Amino acid sequence: MKVFIMPHWDSPYTKLLANALSDLGVNPILAPVHKFRLFWYTIWLNGWPDVIHLQWQHQFFVGSSWLFTIVSTFIFFVQLISLRLLGIRFIWTIHNLINHERDKAGWELAACQLLARLVNQLIAHCDVAKQEVSREYKIPLEKITVIPHGTFAPLFADIPPLSKTAARRKLNLGSGQPIFLYFGQIRDYKGVDNLIEAFRRLDAPQARLLIVGKVETEQLLAEISAMAAQDERVITHFEFVSDELLAAYICASDFVTLPYKWSLTSGAVSPTAVYRRSVIAPRLGCLIELPEEGAITYAPDNKNGLYDSLQKALSACSESMGNALHQYDAQFCWSSIAKLTVELYSISKPD
């Protein structure tokens, strides 16, 4: 069975999925795409597939201008419909309902609703996401299969954990300080501004907030930098970091904070769990399903929710919570996920 997984742009998720599918005898092709070079171009390069497994849809439906957006959306659907008529099966994994920046949100939502009707099956990463996809895309629940997001443990297999003391020594951090960490790309929807604001309210002189990641825009960089400069307890590292350095930051922390303004799924939980740390997160999307013993969660509409969670974390047992989250994440092995995915590929095959 030949499967195109697309679009692919050096994503660890698609790489791990492809590796696991290969172990089951599937021939996965990781296909980067251009807005105007979609399915037929990929077929010309790689031959005829049995299945095209779509991932992030945003680049197909949202462009820098309305003309570009309309043309790329039209080309996408013309090619998809032609291939559906020729017997190629389409599976679509929903990572986000629409793009995080909400750019041309109404257009993308309408395009997604049409796409959801045209593909053979959809994949959501949890039951909560399944319900949201059904509601927003206006499709029956029966067309959506839950297949969990796999653990990122294989990405860190060659990076052994450091003790908290060793990690803090490596990063020149104090040994007795409660440390909160945010890592990953810094974009508006990630809520780093809200995190800094909530942290500044904490009456905990020894606490530290580490913000590690590349900022998406110069404007956001200026805003976050100005906020961080008002509290000497906030330490920033506005750069992309290697997996090895990321592991050190996670091991040095007590809690990883995910202050998202909206989210359907999150890839930041798994690296945190791999190194036995817990998270603070809003009850949004699949984050709702995090185990109570492994995460501190709050209602996203509670203005004091993030602050209260930071306060709660100061007296929580971060070690036991980290162990619980580690056990939760470990169950999502890629071999099981690949098996479920192959079964779905087969179910979607016409009689």
Cα 124 to Cα 8, 61, 63, 98, 337, distances in angstroms: 18, 20, 25, 14, 12
**pLDDT for position 190:** 95
251 or 35, which is more confident? Answer: 251
Lowest mean pLDDT among 59-68, 225-234, 280-289, 326-335: 59-68
pLDDT in tens, 177-204: 999 999 999 999 999 999 999 999 999 9
Q: In 10 A of CB 253, how many CB atoms?
A: 30
Mean pLDDT over 107-133 rounds to 97
Q: How confident is the model at residue 314 (pLDDT cuts 50, 70, 90)?
A: very high
Q: For residues 128 and 144, is the Cβ–Cβ distance under 8 A? A: no
215 or 351, which is more confident? Answer: 215
Which CATH architecture does the domain made up of 2-150+333-347 adopt? 3-Layer(aba) Sandwich (3.40)
Token pair in block for residue 239 = 């750069």
Cα 103 to Cα 99, 108, 132, 186, distances in angstroms: 7, 8, 20, 17
pLDDT in tens, 228-254: 999 999 999 999 999 999 999 999 999
**pLDDT for position 100:** 84
**pLDDT for position 171:** 95
Q: How confident is the model at residue 50 (pLDDT cuts 50, 70, 90)?
A: very high
Q: Say if residue 306's pLDDT is above 70.
A: yes
CATH of domain 154-330: 3.40.50.2000
Q: How confident is the model at residue 351 (pLDDT cuts 50, 70, 90)?
A: very low
Mean pLDDT over 11-23 rounds to 95
**pLDDT for position 35:** 61
**pLDDT for position 161:** 95
**pLDDT for position 89:** 96
Q: How confident is the model at residue 101 (pLDDT cuts 50, 70, 90)?
A: confident
Give the integer Cα–Cα distance in Å for 81 and 209. 50
**% of the chain surpassing 90 pLDDT:** 86
Give the integer Cα–Cα distance in Å for 339 and 89. 18
Q: Say if residue 125's pLDDT is above 70.
A: yes
Q: Say if residue 78's pLDDT is above 90.
A: yes
Burial of 150 (0-12, 13-18, 19+ CB in 10 A): buried
**pLDDT for position 218:** 93
**pLDDT for position 348:** 64
The CATH 3.40.50.2000 domain(s) of the chain lie at 2-150+333-347, 154-330
Q: In 10 A of CB 296, how many CB atoms?
A: 22
Q: Say if residue 143's pLDDT is above 80.
A: yes
Model pTM? 0.92
Token pair in block for residue 131 = 């319900």
Q: Which of 31, 27, 88, 97 is nearest to 62 (CA)?
A: 97
